[in-house]
Amino acid sequence: MKVSIIGGGGRVGSTAAYALQLGGLVKELAIVDVATEMAQGEALDLRHGASIAGSQKIYAGGYEAVAGSDIVVITAGLRRKPDESRLDLINRNVALFRGILDEVKKVSLPKSAVALVVSNPVDILTNLAVSALGLPASQVIGLGTVLDTARFRSLLAEYFEVDATDVDALILGEHGDSMVPIWSSASINGVPFSSFPNYDETTVKGIFDYTKKSGAEVIKLKGGAGYAVGLSIKQVVDAIVLDKKAVLPVSSLMNGYMGISGVCFSVPTVVGRGGVEKLIEITLTADEKAALLSSAETLKETLKLVG
């Protein structure tokens, strides 16, 4: 299985490559970046750990290195400023992203290839990728709210003082300001939050508010996110490579889901070797459904700006 990472010389791309190396599932890993020496350095550094992590073919190259990739991960993009919403990035990132898509279209990919868009604003750029790449829509996935959900669960686990892997709480919709927490199905290994003695509704809702700001906080403190997003990318790649049928809140093109069409955003999705294999219509409260529909409208309005 071959994975290429476009933008692999940057913080997000390089941490994703490292996570994939440690995972050991990917046999071949191509690092592509306009900063060619940085990409070469990342590939060399990773290869130096091969005797510890395992035998993998890891190298850097131009867009020609993307050819033959089973999964193309796109992380390249301009960094979000601390006080900038992800949707504000559209004016700075769309032209760059379209250029990347033009280059990817020139290389030969397997018919089963899956594109994973990570660059922000991810839902808008996933829409562009669906239109431009010529792949079936099911084979174009945005990282969506996978990272937001991971952050949310981790922060909730700290508050409740439980194993983070036991926390089951979803964030759906836009990967950005209109993201929607799904409180109605949230639990800790099947136990509703309200059953825990330290449960406080105001505090728990405050954790969601902090989750929304967490990306900007990491940028403010260290200049950019890397580790958690790298693990989130690995989670999606693993689901594809192993055909896991994992249920993940990835972003994909809606075609009638809850009456929503023509926009990419995150809903519970069965992810396997074919990419998006099934969308799960989750039972929501009236308020949650209204918020999710509003999130879709927000993205539709933004899409009109890019034409």
**Which listed residue (2, 86, 151, 175) is catalytic?**
175
Cα 105 from Cα 195, distance rounded (Å): 52
Active site residue 48: no
Buried-exposed string 53-72: b where 16+ CB fall within 10 A, e elsewhere: beebebebbebebbbebbbb
Q: Which residues have a catalytic role annotated?
A: 175
